[in-house]
Amino acid sequence: MLGLPATRRPQFIVGDHIVVVSPSAPVPRGSVGVVTKVVMTEIDAVHRYQVKTEAGQSFTFFGFELALAAPLDHTAL
């Protein structure tokens, strides 16, 4: 099975709330959004994540450009 990429689990799944951590992303660092689609091509076996931002725009990111957003602690309000 040489030459075949190993199947990896995606870093994020549809519905995950994320924050942009990359300074070179197409939106400002700290922008938040929701993963709407996980894409993996057979060519490079790298996951990409389609994200809808709070502003309603959709962008595609690599996993290293994103981090899970901290869940809101409603008890602290």
Q: What is the pLDDT of residues 16-56, one digit of tens each?
A: 999 999 998 889 999 999 999 999 877 877 899 999 999 99
Task: Tell me what pLDDT residue 4 has.
Answer: 43
Domains in the chain, CATH or no CATH each: 17-70 (2.30.30)
Task: Tell me what pLDDT residue 1 has.
Answer: 40
Cβ atoms within 10 Å, residue 33:
25
Longest CA pairwise span in the chain (Å): 54
Strand partners for 19: 32, 67
Kindly report the pTM of this predicted structure: 0.79
Contact between residue 17 and residue 6 where contact means Cβ atoms under 8 Å apart: no
E strand intervals along the chain: 17-20, 32-40, 47-53, 58-62, 66-68
Instruction: Report how far residue 33's alpha carbon sits from residue 51's, in angstroms, rounded to the nearest whole number.
Output: 6
Strand partners for 59: 51
